[in-house]
Amino acid sequence: MTRVRRVLAPNPGPFTLEGTNTWVVGDGPSVVIDPGPDDAGHILAVLDETEGVGAILLTHRHPDHAPGAARLAEASGAPLYAFRPEEGEQRLVEGQVVETGVVRFRTVHTPGHTADHVSFLLEPDGFLFTGDAVLGRGTSVIDPPEGDMAAYARSLQKMVDLEPKTIYPGHGPVIFTPRGKLEYYVRHRTDREQQVLAALAEGKQRPEEMVPGIYGGEVPPDLYPAATRSVLAHLLKLEREGKVARTGRAKDQRFLKVTPRECERCGRPAAPGSRYCPRCGLAALQEGLPREARD
Stretch that binds Zn ion, among 69-77, 104-112, 130-138, 245-253 (CB under 5 A): 130-138
Stretch that binds Zn ion, among 124-132, 152-160, 250-258, 265-273 (CB under 5 A): 124-132
* Residues 6+ away with beta carbon under 8 Å from 145: none
Report, in Å, the least distance between residue 110 CB and Zn ion: 12
Please, which residue, 62 or 237, has the CB nearer to Zn ion? 62
Based on the shown chain and the rule CB under 5 A, indicate whether residue 132 belongs to the binding site for Zn ion. Answer: yes
Please, which residue, 77 or 145, has the CB nearer to Zn ion? 145
Report, in Å, the least distance between residue 20 CB and Zn ion: 6
Please, which residue, 128 or 199, has the CB nearer to Zn ion? 128
C-alpha to C-alpha distance for 284 and 186, rounded to whole angstroms: 37
Based on the shown chain and the rule CB under 5 A, indicate whether residue 34 belongs to the binding site for Zn ion. Answer: no
Residue nearest to Zn ion (CB): 62
Please, which residue, 131 or 281, has the CB nearer to Zn ion? 131
Report, in Å, the least distance between residue 261 CB and Zn ion: 39
Lateral strand order in the sheet of 166-169: 97-100, 103-109, 118-122, 127-131, 166-169
Residues 182-201 touching Zn ion, rule: CB under 5 A, are: none
Please, which residue, 185 or 276, has the CB nearer to Zn ion? 185
Q: Is the peptide bond before 124 cis (omega within 30 degrees of 0)?
A: yes
Based on the shown chain and the rule CB under 5 A, indicate whether residue 64 belongs to the binding site for Zn ion. Answer: yes
Three-state secondary structure readout of the chain: CCCEEEEECCCCECCCECCCEEEEECCCCEEEECCCCCCHHHHHHHHHHCCCEEEEECCCCCCCCCCHHHHHHHHHCCCEEECCCCCCCEECCCCCEEEECCEEEEEEECCCCCCCCEEEEECCCCEEEEECCCCCCCCCCCCCCCCCHHHHHHHHHHHHHHCCCEEEECCCCCECCHHHHHHHHHHHHHHHHHHHHHHHHCCCCCHHHHHHHHHCCCCCHHHHHHHHHHHHHHHHHHHHCCCEEEECCHHHCEEEECCCCECCCCCCECCCCCCCCHHHHHHHHHCCCCHHHHC
* Contact flags string 159-178 toward Zn ion, x per CB under 5 A: -----------x--------
Based on the shown chain and the rule CB under 5 A, indicate whether residue 148 belongs to the binding site for Zn ion. Answer: no
Based on the shown chain and the rule CB under 5 A, indicate whether residue 146 belongs to the binding site for Zn ion. Answer: no
Please, which residue, 62 or 243, has the CB nearer to Zn ion? 62
Residues 228-287 touching Zn ion, rule: CB under 5 A, are: none
Report, in Å, the least distance between residue 237 CB and Zn ion: 19
Please, which residue, 62 or 234, has the CB nearer to Zn ion? 62
Report, in Å, the least distance between residue 50 CB and Zn ion: 22
User: What is the CA 281 to chain-centroid distance, rounded?
Assistant: 34
Paired with 175 in beta bridges are: 167
Stretch that binds Zn ion, among 38-46, 64-72, 232-240, 285-293 (CB under 5 A): 64-72
Report, in Å, the least distance between residue 164 CB and Zn ion: 19
User: What is the CA 209 to chain-centroid distance, rounded?
Assistant: 25
Report, in Å, the least distance between residue 54 CB and Zn ion: 24
Based on the shown chain and the rule CB under 5 A, indicate whether residue 62 belongs to the binding site for Zn ion. Answer: yes
Site for Zn ion, rule CB under 5 A: 62, 64, 132, 170
